[in-house]
């Protein structure tokens, strides 16, 4: 092997280019490039001998036939790999299958350039973690990073290199099903979580065997579709785009994310996939992003339906010119780019830039050194669903649960008391729904149902009676009688209510976000018996819970918690774990309040109960049922002694704020201490509250801690009418507490 490498080295780049026109390099060439001590400039050397078809191949991503997540499917993806016309595949996984496909690319194509394997690993690969919205409710950045780390470890053991995550779209509309995949309504929290997920997926170095390439999506503003309907149009000011929607994408890129996915929606009238302002000005010029940009599924083709391109070929030109490097599934580059380059409609320089970015990532992942390094069946067997991974999933799952109500402290249930429990509801025994949407390779049979979770902790199984009562959806009430009979015999009723896992996620918007079907009726019927009721909610978005609130003594929001769901819920129900989650999205009181979010702008006519002509509804309060940042504990935390070390902040002198938090109850607990500001007077209207800092602390019974936060002028910047970030002198109020309605307050002034 060595003499061949020496031969190519002596030959030099010029010689290689010359010879490549005559020879089929196959094995020889590949060996040159896969040598352990790589030649400098591998990507450039490779680029110099690639044909235009081969280059376009690297810009093409096709799905395998394993999973279908969109409207079209190419039956010929294996031939495309073989012909060098497709450089990346998604929805193919397992060490065995990725090896099979990689062999085609490496052994059967002229240059043997390895494939990149992508997949929607959104909240776990096989060990499924809580849906991202649920995990976000933990406000536990370390745990969230750990969740992504485990997902990367399992995925890379199964041959994958690239996850289409994190999804960082801020959303203020719970009708939009994809809120399940994000971090909720706040961009500050969202940015912290975005960075943690990138770090978790990518690890310290992309070359590490358990690091996978992150793909921040969906760029940009996909979370603001009109009326919460998926794929609908987005229209907002540049000020709002920059201030509210962009920060999490930026945070992900600053954390090192090396790929970005465009979104389906338009921004300022131009679909994101052809949007030069987004992809060139913001992403490349302002943020200095040097990774590659991939489209969402057929989003180039969809620019025809958007009505901004007459045909697919024109749509392809728009995308290529805007800086889209890779076409997911649309086959537009595949079909038209060759001719467009040859006819001079698009420059070879643009193509080369895109191909270089993609090859650079393949190089960073170590694929040129060993294209099969991720296809290790032995590692796959040992890693996937390991006890350590399941333990990590259970840990994040219990931290994601939010205690919404606990009237008369009926929770936790004392498991040693021998009380008879009726577990009622369509989600009582489910394994499948626990997976939520985008559950990658997760199997329902690996999930611990709520029933199994309870049984694992109840000593005498005959104390638990389980009845479904009704389906999640539909009108059938024939199961009500059995449910009522079980409830009558019980000391405590636990009702497992909520949505199907796929009622949120992509293409899963709902116009009415009450509990579906007859579940509210079932709850009311059981409630009429007068037994204490604990409602365990499983859902992928905020729901309208006014009726649930009226008919239950306790409520736990458990989202879809994944593989260890039932165990985690049992931990909380029985007090093994004191709930610490806080809502990452506002829970409205009724449909009319939507869209709703805590950081609304100040209006000229703020709410005034006695003045009709103020901003309010005739038939509803303005306040949500549960505000952003809200969540109870089995103990109570008292906030006092808010203080600051200086009443004046300048550009170079930050201010330190402190507050004393005391655990007033009899059990240890965790609290998310949140700091919000209000800019009292500015040159543009500012939000009534903005989250600026938070810290999750642990306090033993009776313990108190002083929590400190530092803010500087940079934290107080906003966008002016010219869309430039500025900070302005003036008064600021600071609120610290356990949710976005915190009342403990101080103030300071920012001076020049
Ligand atoms: C469409 C979705 O919008 C996107 O999030 C996902 O990554 C792709 N399909 C691939 O499955």
Neighbouring C-alpha atoms within 13 Å toward the C-beta of 689? 21
Pocket test for ligand 1, best of 328, 504, 507 (most atoms within 8 A of CB): 328
Look at strands 745-750 and 648-649 and give their pairing.
parallel
- Distance linking the first and last C-alpha atoms of the chain: 68
Tell me the C-alpha distance between 136 and 585, whole Å. 10
Q: What is the pLDDT of residue 4?
A: 30
Per cent of the chain over pLDDT 70 is: 94
Q: What is the pLDDT of residue 68?
A: 67
Q: Which ligand 1 atom is the nearest neighbour of the CA of 217?
A: 5
**Res. 8: pLDDT tops 90:** no
* Residues 595-653 pLDDT 10s: 999 999 999 999 999 999 999 999 999 999 999 999 999 999 999 999 999 999 999 99
Tell me the C-alpha distance between 648 and 655, whole Å. 8
Question: What SS3 class is residue 255?
Answer: coil
**Res. 560: pLDDT tops 70:** yes
Question: What SS3 class is residue 746?
Answer: strand
* Cα–ligand 1 centroid distance for 590 (angstroms): 30
Tell me the C-alpha distance between 186 and 139, whole Å. 12
Domain 637-750: assigned CATH number: 2.60.40.10
* Cα–ligand 1 centroid distance for 296 (angstroms): 6
Closest CA to 584 of 546, 549, 630: 630
What lies within 8 Å, CB to CB, of 280 at 6+ separation is 322, 323
Tell me the C-alpha distance between 404 and 398, whole Å. 14
Average pLDDT, integer, range 270-295: 98
Mean pLDDT of the chain: 94
Q: pTM for the complete prediction? A: 0.95
Strand order in the sheet with 730-737: 648-649, 745-750, 730-737, 669-679, 690-699
Catalytic residues, by residue number, are 296
* Cα–ligand 1 centroid distance for 70 (angstroms): 8
* Residues 415-459 pLDDT 10s: 999 999 999 999 999 999 999 999 999 999 999 999 999 999 998
Tell me the C-alpha distance between 495 and 517, whole Å. 15
**Res. 2: pLDDT tops 70:** no
Neighbouring C-alpha atoms within 13 Å toward the C-beta of 226? 8
Confidence of residue 387 (pLDDT cuts 50, 70, 90): very high
**Res. 592: pLDDT tops 90:** yes
What lies within 8 Å, CB to CB, of 289 at 6+ separation is 253, 260, 283
Q: Are the C-beta atoms of residues 642 and 746 closer than 8 Å to each other? A: yes
Q: What is the pLDDT of residue 66?
A: 81
Confidence of residue 693 (pLDDT cuts 50, 70, 90): very high
* Residues 501-549 pLDDT 10s: 999 999 999 999 999 999 999 999 999 999 999 999 999 999 999 999 9
* Residues 324-354 pLDDT 10s: 999 999 999 999 999 999 999 999 999 999 9
Q: What is the pLDDT of residue 5?
A: 28
Pocket test for ligand 1, best of 62, 65, 66, 69 (most atoms within 8 A of CB): 69
Residues in the ligand 1 pocket, defined by CB under 6 Å? 69-70, 120, 164, 217, 296-297, 506
Phi first, then psi, for residue 294 (nearest 5°) are: -115, 150
Tell me the C-alpha distance between 477 and 467, whole Å. 13
Average pLDDT, integer, range 659-674: 98
Q: Give the closest residue (by CA) to ligand 1 atom 3.
A: 296
What lies within 8 Å, CB to CB, of 52 at 6+ separation is 338, 341, 342, 348, 351
Q: Are the C-beta atoms of residues 150 and 137 closer than 8 Å to each other? A: no
* Cα–ligand 1 centroid distance for 281 (angstroms): 24
Q: Are the C-beta atoms of residues 632 and 405 closer than 8 Å to each other? A: yes
Strand order in the sheet with 655-663: 637-644, 655-663, 704-711
* Residues 60-91 pLDDT 10s: 999 998 876 666 667 789 999 999 999 999 99
Q: What is the pLDDT of residue 27?
A: 42
**Res. 7: pLDDT tops 60:** no
Confidence of residue 496 (pLDDT cuts 50, 70, 90): very high
Tell me the C-alpha distance between 163 and 167, whole Å. 10
Closest CA to 38 of 9, 7, 18, 16: 9
Confidence of residue 18 (pLDDT cuts 50, 70, 90): very low
Q: What is the pLDDT of residue 17?
A: 41
Tell me the C-alpha distance between 633 and 45, whole Å. 60
Q: Find out if CATH 3.10.105.10 is the number for domain 393-593.
A: no
**Domain residue extents for the chain:** 393-593, 637-750
Pocket test for ligand 1, best of 64, 68, 119, 120 (most atoms within 8 A of CB): 120
Q: Which ligand 1 atom is the nearest neighbour of the CA of 222?
A: 3
Give the least confident one: 73-77, 471-475, 742-746: 73-77
**Res. 176: pLDDT tops 50:** yes
Q: What is the pLDDT of residue 70?
A: 66
Phi first, then psi, for residue 327 (nearest 5°) are: -100, 115
- Cα R_g (the chain), whole angstroms: 27
* Residues 372-383 pLDDT 10s: 999 999 999 999
- 320: which 2 tokens? 């290529």
Residue 681, burial from CB neighbour count under 10 angstroms (0-12, 13-18, 19+) = exposed
* Cα–ligand 1 centroid distance for 161 (angstroms): 16
**Res. 30: pLDDT tops 90:** no
Q: Which ligand 1 atom is the nearest neighbour of the CA of 264?
A: 3
Average pLDDT, integer, range 723-731: 97
């Amino acid at each position: 092997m060595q003499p061949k490498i020496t031969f190519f080295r002596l030959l030099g780049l010029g010689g290689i280019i010359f010879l490549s026109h005559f020879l089929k390099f196959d094995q020889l060439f590949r060996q040159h490039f896969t040598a352990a001590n790589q030649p400098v400039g591998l990507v450039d050397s490779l680029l110099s001998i690639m044909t235009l078809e081969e280059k376009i191949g690297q810009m093409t991503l096709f799905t395998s036939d394993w999973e279908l997540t969109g409207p079209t499917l190419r039956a010929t993806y294996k031939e495309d790999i073989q012909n060098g016309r497709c450089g990346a595949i998604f929805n193919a996984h397992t060490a065995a299958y990725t090896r099979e496909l990689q062999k085609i690319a490496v052994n059967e194509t002229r240059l043997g350039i390895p494939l990149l394997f992508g997949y929607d690993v959104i909240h776990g690969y096989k060990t499924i973690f809580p849906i991202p919205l649920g995990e976000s409710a933990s406000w536990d950045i370390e745990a969230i990073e750990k969740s992504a780390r485990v997902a990367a470890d399992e995925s890379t053991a199964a041959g994958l290199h690239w996850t289409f995550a994190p999804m960082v779209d801020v959303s203020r509309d719970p009708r939009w099903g994809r809120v399940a995949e994000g971090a909720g309504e706040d961009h500050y929290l969202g940015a912290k979580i975005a960075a943690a997920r990138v770090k978790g997926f990518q690890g310290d170095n992309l070359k590490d065997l358990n690091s996978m390439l992150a793909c921040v999506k969906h760029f940009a503003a996909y979370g603001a579709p009109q009326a919460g309907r998926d794929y609908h149009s987005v229209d907002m000011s540049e000020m709002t785009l920059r201030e509210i929607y962009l920060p999490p994408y930026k945070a992900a890129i600053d954390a090192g994310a090396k790929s970005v996915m465009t979104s389906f929606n338009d921004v300022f009238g131009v679909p994101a996939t052809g949007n030069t302002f987004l992809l060139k000005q913001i992403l490349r010029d302002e943020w200095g992003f040097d990774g590659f940009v991939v489209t969402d599924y057929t989003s180039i083709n969809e620019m025809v339906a958007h009505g901004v391109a007459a045909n697919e070929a024109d749509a392809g030109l728009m995308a290529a010119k805007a800086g889209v490097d890779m076409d997911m599934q649309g086959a537009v580059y595949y079909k038209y780019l060759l001719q467009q380059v040859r006819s001079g409609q698009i420059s070879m320089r643009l193509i080369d830039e895109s191909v270089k970015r993609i090859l650079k990532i393949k190089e960073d992942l170590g694929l040129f050194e060993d294209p099969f390094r991720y296809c290790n069946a032995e590692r796959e067997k040992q890693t996937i669903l390991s006890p350590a991974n399941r333990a990590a999933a259970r840990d994040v799952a219990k931290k994601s649960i939010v205690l919404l109500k606990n009237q008369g402290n009926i929770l936790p249930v004392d498991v040693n008391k021998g009380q008879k429990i009726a577990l009622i509801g369509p989600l009582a025994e489910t394994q499948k729904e626990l997976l939520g949407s985008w559950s990658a390779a997760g199997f329902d049979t690996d999930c611990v149902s709520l029933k199994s979770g309870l049984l694992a902790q109840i000593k005498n199984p005959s104390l638990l009676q389980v009845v479904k009562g009704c389906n999640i959806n539909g009108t059938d009430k024939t199961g009500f009688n059995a449910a009522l009979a079980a409830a009558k015999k019980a000391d405590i009723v636990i009702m497992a209510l909520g949505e199907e896992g796929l009622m949120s996620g992509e293409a899963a918007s709902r116009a009415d976000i009450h509990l579906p079907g007859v579940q509210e009726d079932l709850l009311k019927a059981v409630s009429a018996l007068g037994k204490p009721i604990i409602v365990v909610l499983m859902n992928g978005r905020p729901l309208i819970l006014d009726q649930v609130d009226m008919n239950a003594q306790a409520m736990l929001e458990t989202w879809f918690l994944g593989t260890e769901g039932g165990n985690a819920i049992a931990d909380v129900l029985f007090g093994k774990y004191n709930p610490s989650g806080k809502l990452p999205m506002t829970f409205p009181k009724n449909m009319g309040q939507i869209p709703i979010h805590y950081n609304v702008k100040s209006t000229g006519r703020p709410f005034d109960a006695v003045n009709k002509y103020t901003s309010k509804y005739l038939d509803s309060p303005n306040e949500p049922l549960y505000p952003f940042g809200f969540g109870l504990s089995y103990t109570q935390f008292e906030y006092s002694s808010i203080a600051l070390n200086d009443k004046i902040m300048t550009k170079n002198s930050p201010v330190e704020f402190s507050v004393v938090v005391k655990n007033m109850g009899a059990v240890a607990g965790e609290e998310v201490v949140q700091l919000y500001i209000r800019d009292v007077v500015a040159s543009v209207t500012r939000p009534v509250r903005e989250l600026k800092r938070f810290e999750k602390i642990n306090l033993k019974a009776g313990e108190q801690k002083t929590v400190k936060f530092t803010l500087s002028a940079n934290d107080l910047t906003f966008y002016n009418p010219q869309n430039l970030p500025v900070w302005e002198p003036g008064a600021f109020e600071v609120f610290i507490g356990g949710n976005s309605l915190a009342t403990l307050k101080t103030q300071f002034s920012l001076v020049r």
